[in-house]
Amino acid sequence: MAVAAALWLPTLGAFACPVCFASKNESRVAYYVTTAVLLTLPWVMIAGFGLCYRSLARRKEDPRPPAPNGPPPESADSDS
């Protein structure tokens, strides 16, 4: 407990952090926005690649999906 407190308390005095104590509000907003973008972008790319790969894999398995409201495909052993 004492060790945890000793590790925690000095961080309270870290006033040199440029993000939290930037002189201008615009700077702080820029730090936050760019950090959020850089953290999100890899996950967006990975998710996009995953969705694209799944779509391509499905298309490769079944190249011609049936039309949702189209006529049923004709077969050689149909009654008509």
Partner 1 sequence: MNPAAMDSDDLSPRRRPARDANAVIPTGVLAMLMFVACEIMFFAGLISARFVASATQAGWPPPGQPRLPIGTTAFNSLILLGSGVALYAAQRALSQGGGGWRVVLSRLRLAIGLGGLFLLFQGAEWARLLHYGLTLQSSAYGSFFYLIIGAHAVHVMAALLVMALVYRGLARGRIPVSRFWAAQVFWYFVVGLWPVLYVLVYLV
Specify the DSSP element, H or E, that contains 11.
none
In the window 58-77, what residues touch partner 1 (CB under 8 A)? Answer: 60
Type of residue found at 40 = T
Q: Which is nearer to partner 1, 17 or 30 (CB)?
A: 30
Regarding 51 and contact with partner 1 (CB under 8 A), the answer is no
4 Cα distance to chain centroid: 34
| Distance from C-alpha of 5 to C-alpha of 37, rounded to nearest angstrom | 33
Please give the residue ranges that form the binding site for partner 1 (CB under 8 A): 22, 24, 26-27, 29-31, 33-35, 37-38, 41-42, 45, 49, 53, 56-57, 60
